[in-house]
Amino acid sequence: MKEHAHNCPGSMMMDRRKDSDAAEAGTGKVRSQLQQWPIQLHLIGPTAPYYQGADVLLVADCVAYALGGFHPEYLKGKSIAIACPKLDEGQDVYVEKIKAWIDDAKINTLTVMIMEVPCCMGLSAIAERALAAASRKVPVKRIVVGLDGEIRKEEWL
Amino acid sequence: MDKIMRGRIKELIARHPKVGDALAEFGVACVTCAVGTCLLKDILEIHHLSPEDEQRMLTRIAEIVYPNRQVVIPLRKSQPEQKTGKLINSPPLLKLVAEHAMIKRVLARIPDMLRKLDLDTVEGRQLALASVDFIRSFADKYHHAKEEDILFKCFDGNLDIIKVMLDDHETGRAHVRAIREAVERRDTVAAVKHLKGYQKLLMEHIRKEDEVLYPWMDRQLSVTQIGRLFSEFAAADAPLAETRRRSEEFISMLEQRFGDAEPGQSR
Ligand SMILES: [Fe+2]
Ligand SMILES: [Fe+2]
């Protein structure tokens, strides 16, 4: 693994080609577990039927690429929205939409999945702001994914 | 070894008492358990020892049961570690742990309270009845009811570990009935005996739940179940807000009257 110095750890270059060659890729077709459209947080309606009472994943854009088993292990049976806390505009709308999930769609749980790079914590902070503003309370879980696709940390907030 | 793994632990200990010591060395208190019908393989799962400790414990047991044979215990591949750092992490179970902390604050003051208890005085009877009220309304109705009606329902009711907990709840209720009767008869000796019995029972019961049962449950429950438990606990608590307020008041009163408990006893 080669690493290059760069100012921002979130966009620091890493070359992991050797590591991924060594790891065995699954064979056969992996079924998609996506059960809705759209998925981008700006595009979704927070009270859509598939959010009602659901276990919702709020996932940073990069996560599904890093995590080999994303569909069967995390997405299965859940509803989803994706966002990037570093590049997306208009993130106040995000807070409102998450709050509407909690208060109006009466979601069962919220799981925030982010990468281990520091700027990704922003998505967790947005979720926490929404939770603080909401009148209902729901359990919120944070899963931090490493650049190598391993789970770094998994905890209820 | 497979036969031992599928055998009831109490029977194994009866045949080989030293197995009990071997378990105790690794913090597994089957010897003092009243039921003891758990299978060794279930005990391994519930107590969640590290693979190394599990291997060492099973090797010790094998040496005791088969002293003349060489039994090789394979090192289990370590399971994905819990990455939370805490044994219990989910909000609904943490809520129950916080209720345990409230109950323990009362249990910690019971010895001091009993030293001065006299049921021939109005004050003594009031104190005993207030304790009974706390146990009934908070420990039992507010807390145990959530375990029995909601949490335990997520698991197979035939599991020994759940039966043990339900047995403890029943034994606790019997103590409470006896305390009430003793107050009516103004029988201080009997009231002291059953309050002491309740205190000892619940301290041990809460320790089992905090250290063994809840961490195991936390590992088993799905995200969906955690969400449901959270909202069902909130719905169960909502009509009992007054009970909670009264219980907090009782705890403060007890702490003021009987001072600080010995270190490590209160929470
Ligand atoms: Fe209990
Ligand atoms: Fe309990």
Chunked into runs of 10 residues, chain A (157 residues) has average pLDDT values of: 56 80 76 96 98 98 96 97 95 97 98 96 96 97 96 94
In chain B, list all ranges with CATH 1.20.120.520.
Answer: 87-258
The C-alpha atoms of residue B193 and residue B188 are separated, in whole angstroms, by 8
Q: Contact B91/B232 with Cβ under 8 angstroms? A: no
A15-44 residues touching B, CB cutoff 8 A:
none
d(CA B254, CA B99): 17
Tokens of A131: 């939770």
Q: Which residue has the tokens 């929205």?
A: A81
Interface of A with B in 124-153 (CB under 8 A): 137-139, 141, 151-153
Residues of A in contact with B84 (CB under 8 A): 153-156
Domains for chain A: give ranges and CATH numbers: 39-156 (3.40.1360)
- pLDDT at res. B206: 97
For domain B87-258, the CATH class is mainly alpha
Which residues of chain B lie closer than 8 angstroms to A113, CB-CB? none
Q: What ipTM was estimated for this complex?
A: 0.89
Per DSSP bridges, beta strands A2-3 and A14-15 are antiparallel
Contact across the interface for B224 and A139, Cβ inside 8 Å: no
Q: Which of B223, B232, B233, B237 has the highest number of chain A CBs within 10 A, making it the mutation to test binding with A? A: B223
| Residue bearing the bigger pLDDT, B94 or B3 | B94
Structure tokens at B266: 């209160």
- The per-residue pLDDT for B50 is 77
pTM of the prediction?
0.83
pLDDT tens digits, B198-239: 999 999 999 999 999 999 999 999 999 999 999 999 999 999
Q: Identify which has the larger pLDDT, B26 or A156.
A: A156
Q: What is the pLDDT of residue B34?
A: 63
Is pLDDT at B256 greater than 50 in this prediction?
A: yes
Average pLDDT of chain B to the nearest whole number: 88
Q: Residues whose CB is under 5 A from ligand 2 (ion)?
A: B 209
CA distance linking residue B86 with residue B221, whole number of Å: 16
Distances (CA, A) of A111 to B111, B184, B201: 45, 54, 38
Which range is least confidently modeled, B2-11, B214-223, B254-263? B254-263
Q: Band the pLDDT of B267: cuts 50, 70, 90.
A: very low
Residue numbers in B near A152 (CB within 8 A): 83
Cβ A139–B234 below 8 Å, yes or no? no
pLDDT digits (tens, 9 = 90+) for B30-77: 776 666 667 787 777 777 777 788 888 888 888 888 888 888 787 776
pLDDT attached to residue B265? 47
CATH 3.40.50 fits B2-78, yes or no: no
State residue B47's pLDDT score: 77
**d(C-alpha B148, C-alpha B135), whole Å:** 16
Asked whether the beta carbons of residue B90 and residue A108 sit closer than 8 angstroms, the reply is no
Q: Do A155 and B227 touch (CB under 8 A)?
A: no
Q: How buried is residue B235: exposed, middle or buried, by Cβ count under 10 Å (0-12/13-18/19+)?
A: exposed
Within chain B, all domains assigned CATH 1.10.3910 are found at: 2-78
- Indicate yes or no: CB of B82 within 8 angstroms of CB of A108: no
Q: In what order do the strands lie in the sheet with A55-60?
A: A79-83, A55-60, A109-115, A140-145, A151-156
What is the C-alpha to C-alpha distance for residues A85 and B53, in angstroms, rounded to an integer?
Answer: 43
